[in-house]
Structure 1
Amino acid sequence: MGGQAGVQAADSLRSGGFPGSITIVADEATLPYQRPPLSKDYLVPTGHLAALPLRPASFYTDHGIDLLTGVAASTIDRHAQTVTLADGTSLPYDYLLMATGSRNRSLSCPGADLAGIHSLKTITDAERLQRALSAAEDVVVIGAGFIGLEFASAAKAYGCEVTVLEFASRPMSRALSPVMSDWFSVAHERNGVRLRLNEGLSHFERDNNGHVCAAHSMTGARYTADLVVVGVGVIPNDEVAAQAGLETNNGILVDEALRTSDPRIFAIGDCASFPNSLTGSRIRLESVQNAAAHGRHAAQVILHAADNYEETPWFWSTQGSLRLPMAGIQAAGDTATVIGNPETAKFSVLCHRVGRLVAVESVNAAGDHIAARKLLTAGLGPSPEEAQAPGFSLKAHAQQASLDPA
Structure 2
Amino acid sequence: MAEDQSKTAGPDLTRGVECGAIPDGGKLLGHVGEAQVLVVRVGAEFFAVDAFCTHYHGPLADGLVADGALRCPWHHACFDLRTGEALRPPAFGPLACWSVEQRNGRIFVREQRKSAATAPRALGGAPERIVIVGGGAAGFAAAEKLRREHYQGSIVMLSDDDAPPVDRPNLSKDYLAGSAPEEWVPLQPEQFYAESGIDLRLKANVTALDPQRREVILCDGGSVPYDRLLLATGAEPVRLPISGADRPHVHALRSFSDCQAIIAAAGAARRAVVIGASFIGLEAAAALRARKIEVHVVAPEARPMERILGPEMGDFIRALHEEHGVVFHLEEKPAAIEDRQVILESGKKLDADLVILGVGVRPRTQLAEAAGLRVDRGVTVDAYLETSAPGVFAAGDIARWPDPHGGAPIRVEHWVVAERQGQTAALNMLGRRQQYAAVPFFWSQHYDVPINYVGHAENWDDLTIEGDIRAKDCLLRFNRNGRALAVASIFRDLESLKAELAMERDS
User: TM-score under structure 1 normalisation?
Assistant: 0.87
Q: What is the match of residue 480 of structure 2?
A: 353
Distance between the aligned counterparts of 2:190 and 2:307, measured in 1?
A: 37
Q: What is the match of residue 390 of structure 1?
A: none
Residue identity opposite 1:326 in structure 2: Y
Match of 1:271 among 389, 392, 398: 398
Q: What is the match of residue 333 of structure 1?
A: 460
2:285 aligned with 1:152, yes or no?
Answer: yes
Judging by fraction of residues, say which structure has more strand: 2
Residue identity opposite 2:452 in structure 1: P
Q: What is the match of residue 205 of structure 2?
A: 72
Report the CA distance between 1:51 and its aligned residue: 6.2
| Correspondence 1:210-229 to 2 at 5 A | 212-229=339-356
Residue identity opposite 2:216 in structure 1: V
| Correspondence 1:285-304 to 2 at 5 A | 285-304=412-431
Distance between the aligned counterparts of 1:52 and 1:124, measured in 2?
A: 12
Distance between the aligned counterparts of 1:184 and 1:311, measured in 2?
A: 28
Residue identity opposite 2:335 in structure 1: S
User: TM-score under structure 2 normalisation?
Assistant: 0.70
- Provide the secondary structure at the position in 1 that maps to 2:355: strand
Bigger shift: 213-222 or 137-146? Answer: 213-222
Report the CA distance between 1:182 and its aligned residue: 2.4
Report the CA distance between 1:50 and its aligned residue: 4.7
Q: Give the conservation status (yes or no) of the 8 Å contact 1:16–1:303.
A: no
2:201 aligned with 1:56, yes or no?
Answer: no
Bigger shift: 60-69 or 102-111? Answer: 60-69
Match of 2:360 among 213, 233, 240: 233
Distance between the aligned counterparts of 1:43 and 1:139, measured in 2?
A: 14
2:287 aligned with 1:176, yes or no?
Answer: no
- Provide the secondary structure at the position in 1 that maps to 2:208: strand
Q: What is the match of residue 343 of structure 1?
A: 470
Q: Give the conservation status (yes or no) of the 8 Å contact 1:167–1:201.
A: no
- Provide the secondary structure at the position in 2 that maps to 1:277: coil
Distance between the aligned counterparts of 1:110 and 1:246, measured in 2?
A: 35
Identity rate, percent: 36
Q: Give the conservation status (yes or no) of the 8 Å contact 1:171–1:184.
A: yes
Q: Give the conservation status (yes or no) of the 8 Å contact 1:118–1:125.
A: yes
1:363-398 superposed Cα distances (whole Å, 9 cap, x missing partner): 233223222222221229xxxxxxxxxxxxxxxxxx
- Unaligned 5+ runs, structure 1: 207-211, 381-406
Q: What is the match of residue 256 of structure 1?
A: 383
Q: Give the conservation status (yes or no) of the 8 Å contact 1:95–1:265.
A: yes
Superposed CA RMSD in Å reads 1.8
1:190-247 superposed Cα distances (whole Å, 9 cap, x missing partner): 222112221122222x3xxxxx211122222221211111111111111111111112
Report the CA distance between 1:21 and its aligned residue: 1.5
2:442 aligned with 1:315, yes or no?
Answer: yes
- Provide the secondary structure at the position in 2 that maps to 1:175: helix
Q: What is the match of residue 386 of structure 1?
A: none
Structure with the larger RCO, 1 or 2 (CA within 8 Å, 6+ apart): 1
Distance between the aligned counterparts of 1:216 and 1:49, measured in 2?
A: 35
Report the CA distance between 1:280 and its aligned residue: 2.5
Report the CA distance between 1:116 and its aligned residue: 1.4
Bigger shift: 356-365 or 8-17? Answer: 8-17
- 1:157/1:57 CA distance change after superposition, 3 Å: closer
Q: Give the conservation status (yes or no) of the 8 Å contact 2:333–2:344.
A: yes
Q: What is the match of residue 216 of structure 2?
A: 83
Q: What is the match of residue 106 of structure 1?
A: 239
Q: Give the conservation status (yes or no) of the 8 Å contact 2:439–2:504.
A: yes
Judging by fraction of residues, say which structure has more helix: 1
Distance between the aligned counterparts of 2:207 and 2:275, measured in 1?
A: 32
1:333-367 superposed Cα distances (whole Å, 9 cap, x missing partner): 33122222223212221222111121111123322
Distance between the aligned counterparts of 2:213 and 2:187, measured in 1?
A: 32
Match of 1:6 among 135, 139, 143: 139
1:99-124 superposed Cα distances (whole Å, 9 cap, x missing partner): 01111100111121223111111111
Residue identity opposite 1:265 in structure 2: V
Residue identity opposite 2:218 in structure 1: L
Residue identity opposite 1:70 in structure 2: K
Q: What is the match of residue 242 of structure 1?
A: 369
Rg comparison, structure with higher value:
2
Residue identity opposite 1:172 in structure 2: M
2:151 aligned with 1:24, yes or no?
Answer: no
Match of 2:254 among 99, 121, 146: 121
